[in-house]
Amino acid sequence: MKIGIDAITFDVAKIHLPIKTLAKARNIDPEKLEKGLGLLKMTLPDTHQDSVVFGANALTKLITDHAIDLTEIARIYIGTESAIDGSKPLSSFLVTLMEQNFGENTLSECDVVDFTFACIGAVDAMQNCIDFIHLNPTKKAIVVATDFAKYDLNSTGEYTQGAGALAMLITANPRIIAFENHWATSTKGVFDFFKPYRSISKTAITGNATNEPWFENLESEIEIHKDQPVFDGQYSNQCYMDRTRDAYFSFKKLKNTSETIYDSWQSIVMHLPYAFQGRRMLSEIYALDASKTTITGTEDAVEYQNILKDVSKSEAYKVFVAEKLMPAEIASSLIGNLYTGSIFMGLLSTLAHYYDTKKEISGTTFGFLAYGSGSKSKVFEGTIQPNWKSAMISVHLFETLEKSFEIDFETYEKLHKKEQKTSVRVPKNEWTLDRIETENPNLLGARYYKWAE
C-alpha cells in the first residue's frame, strides 16, 4: 500500500528585507551572504501574524484548493518550535479557526497534537500520520509545519530569519509522493541550539529588595520568554553533520545495500536553515559513500577537514549539487529559515521547479535528510507518483514569492523590537491575530483570531 503526501500548500510572510539591505546595515560583505550562503531575502512576520496565523492560512488553502471534506480528516498534527502557549497546542487553535470558516463541529472527532523537536518536529508528525494511515488506510490526516525563525539583532543568525507554514494532506494512494517504510534515525542530547526558560531577579527590575508583588508576580525571579534561541553556530553545524551522517549510513543498513544510496536519488531534500547549508554539510557523506573516496579513516582532524574542503570544491561535487540539491534551495533563498517547514519547503521548491520547467519526474526517488537541533536526524525516501502535476496546478510558489513586499531597515528593526504597532500591509483574505486578552483574569493572555476579508 502506498502512503504519502497527496496535496501540499503554503503560507509565507508577505513582507521581506533584502539581504543586501541587512548586509549594508551590519557592515557585512553582501557577497558573503548571497553567494556564500545563498541568501537573497529574509521574510518577517507582520504585526498581525504569528505561528497560528501562518498555520491557519496554509491549512485553509489546503482545504479550499483541494475541496477537502473535513469530516474525513482523522488527525491534524502540527510540527512547530514557535509555540505561543506552554500548555494549549497550536493545533487546538487551528481546529477552532477551521470550524469557524467551514462549519461547527466538523472537526470535533479529529485528533490534534503538536510535535516539538526543533526543526524536525513536522517530520516526526508526518511519520506518525503515515503509520496511522498504514493501520487505517481509509482515513486521512493533515500535517502542518508552522514557525518563525527570530534571532537577536547583530547575531550570526540574524540573516537566516524567516516565517511561514506548510500544510500537507497524508493519504493512501497519494498524488505527489509515496514514502518507503524505511526511516533511519540518529539521536544525541546536545546543546547546539535551544530556547531555555530564562529569568531575572525582581530586584533588578523594580529596585525593591523586599520581593513586593509586581504585576501579580509573587516570585523573587521573573521568568522571561524569548523567541530567539541560544546557539553555537559552528557546533550546531557539526551536530548537523554528525547526526545526518550517522542516520544516512543507518539508512544504508536498513536498505541492506552497499551501493551509493544518493546516486539513486533524483533530488535530495534537506533541512535548510540557510539555502546553501545542505551543500556545505553533505560533502562528508558524498565523500564517504563514494566508490572513489579518498578518505581512509587514518587521517587526523585537520587532514580530514582539508579533504572535505577539496571535495566540496571539486567539479564533480559542483555538478552533484546543481543536479540534486539546487532545486530545493531556490525557495529558501527567497524566504529564509522556516524551522520545521524548511525541509518541506525544500520539497515544494523542488516540485515547483520541475513543474515550471516541465520536467517529468514520475517514478523517480527523492531522498530526505532531516535535522533538528538538540539533536536528531532522520533519513528516508519517497517515490514521485504519476499524478504529481495535478496537485501542483494551484500552488504558484515562485509567483507568490515574487509578490512579497519589500520593507526598509528601520521598519525591520521596529518589527523585531515590537515597536511597530500597526500592520505594514493591510491583511486581506487571510487570518489575523485580532487581540490578546488583557483584562479578564480568567482569560488573561488568551489569543483571538479573525478572518480578514
% of the chain at pLDDT higher than 70: 98
Mean pLDDT of 173-192: 97
The pLDDT value given to residue 236:
97
pLDDT at position 305 is 86
Residue range 259-288: mean pLDDT, rounded = 95
> What is the 3-state secondary structure of 120-143?
CHHHHHHHHHHHHHHHCCCCEEEE
**CA dist 117 → 127, 246, 370 (Å):** 14, 18, 11
User: Residue 303: exposed, middle, or buried by beta-carbon count in 10 A (0-12, 13-18, 19+)?
Assistant: exposed
Closest CA to 329 of 261, 408, 398: 398
Instruction: Please list, in sequence order, all residues whose beta carbon lies within 8 angstroms of the beta carbon of residue 318, skipping any fewer than 6 positions away.
Output: none
Residue 297, pLDDT above cutoff 70: no
Question: Which pLDDT does position 296 carry in this prediction?
Answer: 66
What pLDDT band is residue 308 in, cutting at 50, 70 and 90? confident
pLDDT digits (tens, 9 = 90+) for 372-385: 999 999 999 999 99
Closest listed residue to residue 351, CA positions, set 310, 382, 316: 382
Distance CA 102, CA 76 (A): 15
Burial class of residue 440 (count of CB atoms within 10 Å of its CB; 0-12, 13-18, 19+): exposed
- Spatial CA neighbour of 147 closest among 375, 410, 298, 373: 373
Q: Which domains are assigned to the chain?
A: 3-192+232-282+325-452 (3.40.47.10), 195-224 (no CATH)
Residue type, 124: D
Rg (CA), the chain: 22
Q: In the structure grid, which three cell numbers stand for residue 253, read together?
A: 543498513
CA distance 38 to 34: 5
Q: What is the pLDDT of residue 18?
A: 98
Instruction: Give me the pLDDT at residue 59, please.
Output: 98
Which pLDDT belongs to residue 291? 58
**Does 115 score more than 60 pLDDT?**
yes
Residue 347 has pLDDT above 60, yes or no: yes
Of residues 5 and 311, the one with the higher pLDDT is 5
**pLDDT band (50, 70, 90) for residue 181:** very high
Note the pLDDT of residue 31: 96
| Across 308-322, average pLDDT | 93
- When pLDDT is averaged across residues 184-201 and rounded to a whole number, the result is 96
Q: d(Cα 423, Cα 260) in Å, to the nearest integer?
A: 51
pLDDT per residue as tens digits for the range 125-157: 999 999 999 999 999 999 999 999 999 999 999
Using DSSP bridges, classify how beta strands 430-436 and 447-452 pair: parallel, antiparallel or unpaired.
antiparallel
Asked whether the predicted pLDDT for residue 298 surpasses 90, the reply is no
Examine the pLDDT at 261 and tell me if it is beyond 90: yes
What pLDDT, on a 0 to 100 scale, did the predictor assign at position 302?
85
Averaged pLDDT, 337-345 = 98
| Dihedral in degrees, nearest 10, Cα atoms 405, 409, 414, 415 | 40
DSSP type of residue 261: G
**Cα 7 to Cα 9: distance, rounded to the nearest angstrom:** 7
pLDDT digits (tens, 9 = 90+) for 397-439: 999 999 999 999 999 999 999 999 999 999 999 999 999 999 9
- What is the pLDDT at residue 234? 94
- Above pLDDT 90, what percent of the chain? 92
DSSP-derived secondary structure letter, 227 = S
195/80 Cα distance (integer angstroms): 13
Global confidence as pTM: 0.97
Mean pLDDT, the chain, rounded, equals: 96
Whether residue 292 has pLDDT greater than 60? no
Measured distance CA(94)–CA(84) in Å, rounded: 13
